[in-house]
Chains A and B, each alone.
Chain A
């Protein structure tokens, strides 16, 4: 993790203010007055994204209303060599939209029109600021929906989803953003408008759409997204299974997949989580269970009946101590309510929580949970475990009090330990939240120098001047060297008074 006092050298106030005036006067002629902010009271809402511990003030914030304005802004910044941080709804959890002190924040929030919906080809063309859920709402009357459903779907934007390759609770069956986006129209840092992918099943040349998806705003600024719409299943039912042992729960997940079933959703919560959320939502969770598994089936009524029966059998054979099957839509939503409200529930029992996002092979779920229990003792902090069990994507929520600097430091160390355990178990440091700034040091653990150098090669292919969100996602060589030295000395920094990185 990055120390709080991070990243920039002590700012030269006079130089920054001169740069700010230059940038503002260059952008003023192309933007309406309300679309350009630079006074601190106006730009302060943009100092951080969903990871509030990481804050920094930008030179200015631009809120363009057309693609043409986005292109002009980029051309101007390109000419002035001013870095640009693209921003969607600001719900990201890894600091990917954290400003750069000598850079511009480019908010795409005002590009929020659904441009077209075509039920025949099952596609919709939307601007990047359109909220994820707004797409599904707009096409519901056609019996269609947009499948990826990150927990923040009520607020997060499709442009942000493209940049993070967001998943959700149903991606085991319906895929990630990658599998549900056909075309991305975007603008390179030099202002050139390009299109990645197409409405056809493939495009000539290398599959550049695949690398733009999940690129955390570092390769191109998204101005238009063509999404795939899928038929809304006629019915969905969920099984809620209790386990008296976490290991049994983890094994049940593997057994369901091994039986040839791909559930629409397969989620797990540990006891600490069910107890925290039950107080909040009264979903009727089994509070004695060590783990609760939510296992959903969707499709035609016939399909669902068949799959629920098969899944129930597997869960029973896996030693479930209790099984309940939702009888109707109200009950299904009730069973899900706790899982969907895990984050607010964590916010209710602790002053702050720090959400991790590692992914591991399914078979190691119980191993990791046991290690996390050990870490809770080591760091003296509690942790709630909710996760997308079906695809091994864990979301440990580390509870701490942010007002206590030392406690936040312990929470960060706890998080770093979890991520390193994920890598060691054959997984990855981030499944869907992105590296951003938060996990940039853990990238040094997951990747070797050659891979990191290749990432910089990819970055330079799109943005040779390294101006587009340049401090995110990929660590520099010197950062990893420094990080290695810090980890080796057991967290005891040789010169704690010095600013790092």
Chain B
């Protein structure tokens, strides 16, 4: 415990002050994802002062850092030792922080093959709404002492506690990679990707971009041992008539997908919203009336991006469509004229067998934050 750290003491003071005055705090790092989640106007708690890598031993496959550490600093340290955050969390800006990435809980193209952020979080140090400095989990991969509170933090959007430090599992960078590309219909892409995923092939990521009912561009990333890639490239290429993309363009492409710098993500009209759909593998092509023609499918179709009108009726339609297939939808990013007070997420009460969990979630939050300092509703 590092109770005397003045930065942490300042966090505690700010939390206790808010608690005493019955106000709320909106936790923020670099502000690169401030548009994500329900909007609020509460006072900011800025984490950036608490910055730095605390421990990194490559042979332990774990890095421990302060929440305010720039994500690029973490990634540079890992790259130097030929390691990485394998789930490729998006930065969405130069100043993204480690803590912000965890709170958002988002993952990039690699998520489909390696897992999401919570799969990699091993331990956290947090400050709860009473100003208590608490540590959960640790730096080891296997740990079942006590409830796994640390893994509740990814995706909690600052609504549970203030994250101070986290230990995250890292992986070696793949020995070799290759990217294949072909023109193929959405339906056929979904079929072939799921078939491949059930075979011992070094499939690492996929992305289909196109118009719903036409052929689109499928990009497939392979990663693993050099020999495995060498054997898989001709086999997989011949099945879908694909050609290999040169490594440099491939890297640019996967990075642009991860950072939402592809055209579909960039040109959001004022009255439009970028919707994110999270869907089961079994979900085939969806037809969404009124949606823009171009869509992007990632994670073998389990994450889909659609641009459409930002109004309530459209979101309701998309939510119903997603939930009828066993998934859910999010208003990921809204155009400048869309009402900022809209609920961005599917609610637990709108999901099957989740109604009782709404109360569980509420009690869980108040266990860590009885006076509601972090109850910004940024995540419902």
User: Which A positions have Cβ atoms within 8 angstroms of B?
Assistant: 118-123, 142-144, 164-165, 167, 171-172, 175-176, 178-179, 185, 188, 192-196, 198-208, 210-211, 213-216, 219, 229, 231-234, 254-255, 257-258, 260-262, 299-300, 302-303, 305-307, 359-363, 388, 391-393, 426-435, 439, 442-443, 446-448, 450-452, 454-455, 457-462, 464, 473-474
Contacts and interface: CB of A to CB of B under 8 A. Distances in A.
B188 interface: no
B151 to A, nearest CB: 4
Contacts of A219: 147
A195 B352 contact: yes
A154 B292 CA distance: 52
A179 B115 contact: yes
B199 A201 contact: no
A362 B60 CA distance: 6
Interface of B: 57-61, 82-83, 105, 111-112, 115-116, 118-119, 128, 132-136, 138-149, 151-152, 154-156, 159-160, 171-173, 175, 194-195, 197-202, 224-228, 230-232, 278-282, 299, 302-303, 326-328, 345-348, 350-354, 356-358, 360-361, 363-365, 367-368, 379-380
B351 A260 contact: no
A211 B154 contact: no
A120 B282 contact: yes
Given A165-B144, A208-B357, A461-B364, A202 B155 contact: yes
Contacts of A176: 141-142
B149 A211 contact: yes
Given A120-B195, A199-B280, A451-B136, A303 B228 contact: yes
A158 to B, nearest CB: 16
Contacts of B365: 206
Contacts of A447: 145-146
A306 B224 CA distance: 11
A144 B194 CA distance: 13
28 contacts: A123-B281, A143-B198, A144-B198, A171-B141, A194-B357, A200-B280, A201-B111, A201-B299, A202-B278, A205-B380, A206-B152, A206-B379, A211-B148, A211-B149, A214-B148, A216-B144, A260-B82, A300-B228, A392-B140, A429-B145, A430-B144, A430-B145, A431-B143, A432-B142, A452-B146, A454-B134, A460-B367, A461-B363
A303 B201 CA distance: 11
Nearest to B175: A260
A317 B98 CA distance: 36
A260 B172 CA distance: 5
A207 B154 contact: yes
A203 B142 contact: no
B215 to A, nearest CB: 22
A50 B179 CA distance: 49
B12 to A, nearest CB: 13
B200 A214 contact: no
Contacts, number: 286
A195 B354 contact: yes
Contacts of A428: 138, 140, 142-145
Given A120-B281, A122-B197, A427 B156 contact: no
A205 B361 contact: yes
Given A216-B144, A255-B59, A452-B146, 7 more contacts: A175-B119, A194-B357, A200-B327, A204-B354, A260-B82, A443-B145, A458-B367
B364 A203 contact: no
A188 B356 contact: yes
A394 B231 CA distance: 38
A178 B326 contact: no
A300 B225 CA distance: 10
Kindly list the 3 A-B residue pairs having the minimum CB-CB distance in the complex, ordered from nearest.
A457-B367, A302-B227, A260-B172
B227 A303 contact: yes
B325 to A, nearest CB: 8
A141 to B, nearest CB: 13
B225 A307 contact: yes
A148 B281 CA distance: 21
A303 to B, nearest CB: 4
B240 to A, nearest CB: 17
B360 A258 contact: no
Nearest to B278: A200
B145 A435 contact: yes
Nearest to B196: A231
B152 A461 contact: no
Nearest to B359: A461
A433 B280 CA distance: 31
A204 B152 contact: no
A388 B142 contact: yes
B326 A198 contact: yes
A439 B143 CA distance: 13
B302 A206 contact: no
A88 B173 CA distance: 39
B224 A303 contact: yes
Given A122-B198, A198-B326, A306-B226, A450 B364 contact: no
A119 B146 contact: no
B143 A430 contact: yes
A215 B147 contact: yes
